[in-house]
Amino acid sequence: MTLKRIYIVAGELSGDILGAGLMRELKARHPGIEFRGIGGPRMIELGMQSRFPLETLSVMGLVEVLKHLPELLKVRKTLKADALAWQPDLMLGIDAPDFNLGLERALHAAGIKTAHYVSPSVWAWRQGRVKKIARAVDGMLTLLPFEADFYRAHRVPVAFVGHPLADELPLDTDRRVAREALGLAAEGPLLALLPGSRANEIRFMGATFFAAALTLSERFPTLNFVIPAATPARFQELKTLLTAYPALSQRVTLLDGHAREAMVASDMVLLTSGTAALEAMLCHRPMLVAYKMAPATHWLAKRLVKTRWISLPNLIAQETLVPELIQDAASAEAIAGELGKLLLQPAECEALEARFAAMHAQLQRGANQRAAQAIEAIAAGQPLVQGET
């Protein structure tokens, strides 16, 4: 089946990156194919006719969503009418599940094939949503294998396509080359600190990370630290915070960006949970995940979240490979204690690096190509491959 028109709605910058990779592959396989919906600069450069700016759907937090709800409902109504008039071969929602699943459900009911790329966290909380997803899409495309297992168990057509980040990062990492590129000492232990990309995360974790680093610096005189700030704003916040720890000033290198290179250069990583944990795994570095949140948020999360782990390496492995210290457990003393154990166990760290390399290879599957193949199958009404992980 030759695909002529695909309607794509991406929710944020990460969706624009995924969408652009998929569009590039579909254009190579189906010359003349057209794309319409919502996309960012990468998708627009590849020919996307974006009906609204990408930022339209980038609303975070319950209060903010409620404030913008009338506008979002109007946007969804407009996109529904636009897609029905355009009659695409398939509509694909990329992430933004609260917005996209409603649009997918409406178009699916109208006879248009639908798919969703990037699973919402139904395996972790609000698992009842899987029934709504089953009514909304003809297929789910997941980045991670355990997500596909969940959908198979609930008899939702699914394709595990792999993670584009795993395709992007090489299977071989060179610690020495990375240190040289960043101007870091070639010898001696190095710990990368990634306290988060949001101001709130720096507020909750920044001082704790620095206090843990201070304790470790006293126990390990040759240990140095590298801190890649996620944004220029975080760089300034961390630079200011660091002035409260003068004993660390000669042992810390603060970078504006370069998180990936810093992780490759390091011997281990201390980070907050999120995509950074996946990146550290794909850089094959042992890590400790520590996270704090507002007390009310933590109270609610404990009652809603159904998973044993919060970090992606543990979720992918379905076992505890990475220590996780959450809320009250994430004290500077506990963090320093766990990292101190790792620093004294080089053989265990080497084994963990090898395990992460094997997990990297599992995710390195040519995600763009597999996603395009899944889109072709769904549009043609063919079954997705269920057994392959």
Given a cut of 70, whether residue 329 has pLDDT beyond it is yes
Ranges of CATH 3.40.50.2000 domains, the chain: 5-162+365-379, 175-363
- Residue carrying the six token digits 């690096």: 353
pLDDT tens digits for range 163-206: 999 999 999 999 999 999 999 999 999 999 999 877 888 888 89
Residue 330 pLDDT grade (very low, low, confident, very high; cuts 50, 70, 90): confident
Please identify, in words, the CATH class of the domain defined by 5-162+365-379. alpha beta
In which region does residue 305 sit, left (phi positive, over 0), alpha (psi from -120 to 50) or beta (all else)? beta
Beta strands 5-10 and 34-38 are: parallel
CA dist., res. 284 & res. 270, Å (int): 14
C-alpha closest to that of 107 among 142, 134, 137:
137
The region of weakest confidence among 1-10, 57-66, 67-76, 207-216 is 57-66
Average pLDDT over residues 8-13: 87
Provide the token pair at 276.
Answer: 């950074």
Given a cut of 60, whether residue 374 has pLDDT beyond it is yes
Given a cut of 60, whether residue 373 has pLDDT beyond it is yes
50, 38 Cβ separation under 8 angstroms: yes
232, 202 Cβ separation under 8 angstroms: no
pLDDT at 11: 81
175-363 is a CATH 3.40.50.2000 domain: yes
Given a cut of 60, whether residue 129 has pLDDT beyond it is yes
Given a cut of 50, whether residue 62 has pLDDT beyond it is no
Residue 361 pLDDT grade (very low, low, confident, very high; cuts 50, 70, 90): very high
Average pLDDT over residues 143-148: 90
User: What rounded mean pLDDT belongs to the chain?
Assistant: 89
Q: Could you tell me which residue, 125 or 181, shows the higher pLDDT?
A: 181
Quote helix, strand, coil % in the chain, to nearest 5: 55, 15, 30
pLDDT at 299: 63
161, 375 Cβ separation under 8 angstroms: no
Q: How many helices (H) does the chain have, and how many strands (E)?
A: 17, 13
Average pLDDT over residues 150-168: 92
